[in-house]
Chain A
């Protein structure tokens, strides 16, 4: 058996830096090693700061999940204080966060994921001309329309959050700007504009029709919009059985409001929903260039191994829950929330299922956010006073576009004494743990076909991008 090694990088059209080492034998990937090659040390930057400064610093971990980081920090601070945000302020925070997640799903599909199908390698495929017209990198009509729709959608963040990314509008007590009736009407109009884009381009049909799909068979018959083109490509390239994971999912629950989560928290294992509990959470450091022992994030440390020892191969720690690997993201969220289409795709858990999970979530979020805005009471208070204690611990759990994001914060003597972050891609792109168990994408890559002479295998690109990694969040 001939074994060769391929080093893939710089791996682009993902957020941040990525390098993957592949072992290839008999024309297939036999092992994959994922390296997150950038360490910035945000957990160290935060140490010794005034706790409230986390709201300014943590969004800057990531330019694409900025509001997610901001929301997690605000939650963690509120938790330390034992406080809840003002209910209407919580709605504004949920709205800002949902807009970012919608935009991220759109950016991923149009700018990061689809351009690979416009490559000349696929020139003989029946759908190639349409893929070229819509999704050629930097040029396609589809990705231009998406870029414009995204920029317009962000007017909502401009209005309520000042700017995107890196807003300081989300606070432990609520939101800094009380929207007026005029703001509410304007936001509803912005959402209507976004709905027009979705119905004309992405779905080619009413948003509600896509949200109503309830089985894999019904999805197979969907032919309209850019998602229709993707489904045709996926069927022809058999992307259903590409990059298959272990169907073990994690969600912290998205958009908590006084009425509960918009998308429920939980775990999904062996086809069953299990309540979320994080007591047995650990970050394993065996294959990360980090010093110290495996620890729960309340006890965790971030001490980079400056020797970059041989046995390790990434700056990313390896989070494990009860010793197990979990996949997180839109598909996980919708499986756990119980949408019938997502449940139907839960076991499939490949490239096709992950992309559909995101499209489904766009439809569901659009509908939910329209209702959320209708329910905002402009005459109410949007902020409560929250006093942070000098000592205490807090946790902030949110769902970023790419999945579960947690902040674990400890305050001592009025300063941050510990701040540990586990981002969605820390889960999905984790290196091996001390038992040698690979992370989700490492496992999903095994078996991917590598054609003769391929230096950067296309199958590997589709699989990696189907996870929509955010590498800047991963290590932070």
Chain B
């Protein structure tokens, strides 16, 4: 299958992250799965006129297009012209190109939260009127209609994340190449379920602290970051702590909160990213699927039951108190 990759109004970080794929490297991985790039802005040799001819051939139907990957939000401003982002050398806006090419592709993949939902490019007053491909925030319908289907019959596949994990992208592409991606493979925001059916909380190394609501009070302390530091790992979809990033990393492993970057509208949480909003001293926003009364009851019970080791470590920048060793049998 061939891939045309376009970079729209984003930071290019999803491509940069993609290059971090390992075992094997991204080039061998994709070619091994029968995937090749018609063009990729960072990787292909073709530039300028060569690319314009390729795009023209796709539009005229001389070249078939299997997978269109779009990275970055699409700017619709100023005044609906899309001219805040013109595709160099073509005299046409990226908005125009995306709307023209998407219906020609077998599959359309939004790479990253910007392309999926608008993301950081649409934050604040959204001066460029940036949008995701098929979603504007949580609302269906972006620069492509709410009922858009690519030639395969699937909606835009939203590989959301800021950035995307390299494996989320490569595994999505490999599933498409294998003909294994179906409507049922996608969640309610059209994100691949293979990584969106789990939570960041799963396999988070702070789970023991979470169990007792033994909380870090400031960044650098190793306790759970849900109560004070804005962590929404118990609500955010993704397998970051199961899979690991760049070896075995993740946001929470590095000591800063999950900010729900796989979700629409994560860019405007309505409070500081690193501070938990509270109502009457109680954090707003509960773990997914948790009834409030039960959460409150369990939280107060477990807080009261916090072992000394866990309480002391939670507000330290490293493990101060190790686990108690079993005394030898006399």
Q: Give the B-binding residues of A (Cβ under 8 A).
A: 7-13, 15-19, 35, 37-41, 44-50, 52-53, 55-57, 60-64, 66, 107, 111-112, 115-116, 118-119, 136-139, 143-144, 147-148, 150-152, 154-155, 157-169, 171, 173-178, 180, 304, 306, 308, 315, 381-383, 385, 455-456, 461, 472
Contact = CB atoms under 8 A, between A and B. Distances in A.
Interface stretch (B12-20, B62-70, B139-147, B170-178): B12-20
A192 to B, nearest CB: 15
A284 B44 CA distance: 35
Given A45-B127, A107-B19, A174-B220, 9 more contacts: A9-B48, A10-B51, A11-B48, A13-B42, A37-B88, A63-B163, A64-B13, A162-B252, A383-B219
B245 A163 contact: yes
Contact of B255 (A41, A144, A169): A169
A472 B41 CA distance: 13
A359 B173 CA distance: 35
Interface string B113-130: 000000011011101101
A35 B89 CA distance: 10
B247 A158 contact: yes
Contacts of B124: 41, 44-49
25 contacts: A8-B89, A9-B87, A10-B47, A10-B87, A13-B42, A13-B45, A13-B47, A15-B12, A39-B128, A44-B127, A56-B274, A62-B13, A144-B25, A144-B27, A151-B22, A157-B246, A162-B253, A163-B245, A163-B254, A165-B17, A166-B162, A176-B219, A178-B220, A383-B220, A461-B47
B317 interface: yes
B46 interface: yes
Given A19-B89, A66-B11, A119-B45, A40 B75 contact: yes
A450 to B, nearest CB: 13
Nearest to A41: B127
A41 B220 contact: no
A292 to B, nearest CB: 15
A52 B85 CA distance: 29
Nearest to A381: B317
B42 A112 contact: yes
Given A111-B42, A155-B246, A7 B220 contact: no
B85 A160 contact: no
Contacts of B25: 144, 147-148, 151
A60 B12 contact: no
Contacts of A176: 219-220, 254-256
- Cβ-closest 3 pairs across A and B: A63-B13, A9-B89, A9-B88
A306 B20 contact: no
B277 interface: no
A41 to B, nearest CB: 4
B43 interface: yes
Contacts of B77: 306
A115 B45 contact: yes
Contacts of B10: 63, 472
Given A62-B12, A118-B45, A456-B50, A17 B246 contact: no
Given A107-B19, A147-B26, A162 B254 contact: yes
Interface of B: 7, 9-17, 19-22, 25-28, 37, 39-52, 75, 77-79, 83-90, 120-121, 123-125, 127-128, 130, 162-163, 218-220, 240, 244-257, 259, 261, 267, 272-274, 317-318
A114 B113 CA distance: 31
A163 B44 contact: no
Contacts of B52: 10
B272 A50 contact: yes
A8 B120 contact: no
Contacts of A13: 41-45, 47
Nearest to B20: A151
Contact of A17 (B87, B256, B261): B87
A148 B256 contact: no
A328 to B, nearest CB: 20
A45 B219 contact: no
Nearest to A51: B272
B220 A8 contact: no
A40 B162 contact: no
Contacts of B26: 147
A160 B128 CA distance: 35
B85 A39 contact: yes
A45 B78 CA distance: 16
A57 B120 contact: yes
Given A138-B27, A176-B254, A63 B45 contact: no
Contacts of A136: 45
Contacts of A111: 19, 42-43
A148 B25 CA distance: 6
Given A64-B12, A151-B22, A158-B249, A12 B128 contact: no
A37 B22 CA distance: 33
A40 B130 contact: yes
Contacts of B78: 304, 306
A160 B249 CA distance: 8
Contacts of A107: 16, 19
A233 to B, nearest CB: 16
Contacts of A52: 272-274
A165 B11 CA distance: 10
B27 A147 contact: yes
Given A62-B11, A383-B317, A472-B11, A150 B219 contact: no
Contacts of A306: 77-79
Given A37-B88, A44-B124, A171-B219, A152 B22 contact: yes
A154 B83 contact: no
Given A9-B88, A40-B128, A155 B247 contact: yes
Nearest to B11: A63
Given A46-B124, A53-B273, A151-B22, A63 B245 contact: no
A308 B83 contact: yes
Contact of B256 (A12, A138, A169): A169
